Amino acid sequence: MNKNLRWLRKGSLILIILIPIFLAVNYGLENYRTKKPQRFQVATILPAQAIASFSLVTDQETSFTAHSLKGFWTLMFFGYSHCPDICPKTLGVMRQVWDQVLKEVPFAKLQFTFVSLDPATDTSARLKEYLSYVNPKFIGLTGELAEVQKLRQFLGIHSLKENSTGLIDHSATLVVFNPRGQLYAIFTPPHHAESIAADLEHMIKG
């Protein structure tokens, strides 16, 4: 009887020791689950990749190269000023994203760029006027067609000019560069401003 009592006491002591440990481990797991990294809603994250060299001109007639991407989170879109549909719609989304991100992360270093696929028509002055109706803080980029094509092809952006109409069939993909100037992510259509903004905020905050 005394032997059974001793085993009972030892068993109780083991339980007294193990239960708090079990609870602590369980709490830790639950805490980890709630704090694990948030998944992106719509962004496709890519392996960070250095961008190929390029040389364009801004709507302020200043040079814009791969070095200009460093120090900023950059959202880049390819289009042209006389685009009848894709560009106005996508730039409208970008404007909403810009406002929402800076509302949530007011000190974020952002630059949104619009690269012209028709640089012969879209001069710096033309892009400056065009973007003034969208967001004057957006950076218009133009330059030699060969430089635009080199950058476009490196990023895998589709573009095809229709000779009969002069219109350009092109992708609405948005490209993200991190502050190291590396290709970081893409957003593919259809675009939703709230989802893109949430993902950009998550990128910026880390």
Residue 85 has pLDDT above 70, yes or no: yes
Q: Note the pLDDT tens digit of each residue in 160-171.
A: 999 888 899 999
Residue 194 has pLDDT above 50, yes or no: yes
Q: What are 74's two structure tokens?
A: 């950059």
Structural domain spans, the chain: 1-36, 44-205
Q: Note the pLDDT tens digit of each residue in 131-151.
A: 999 999 999 999 999 999 999
- The residue type at 37: P
**What is the rounded distance in angstroms from the CA atom of residue 70 to the CA atom of residue 68?**
6
**What is the rounded distance in angstroms from the CA atom of residue 60 to the CA atom of residue 81?**
16
Domain 44-205 bears CATH identifier 3.40.30.10: yes
Strands 110-116 and 73-79: parallel
**What is the rounded distance in angstroms from the CA atom of residue 186 to the CA atom of residue 206?**
17
Burial 35-45 (b: 16+ CB within 10 A, else e): eeeeebebbee
The runs of H, that is alpha helices, within the chain are: 2-35, 86-104, 124-132, 145-155, 193-205
Residue 38: what pLDDT?
Answer: 56
Average pLDDT, stretch 56-60? 98
Q: How far from each other are the two terminal CA atoms of the chain, in whole angstroms?
A: 63
Whole-model pTM: value is 0.81
- Coil/strand/helix, residue 24: helix
CA distances (Å), 175 to each of 45, 84, 133, in order?
10, 21, 22
Burial 52-81 (b: 16+ CB within 10 A, else e): eebebbbbeeeebebebbeebbbbbbbbbb
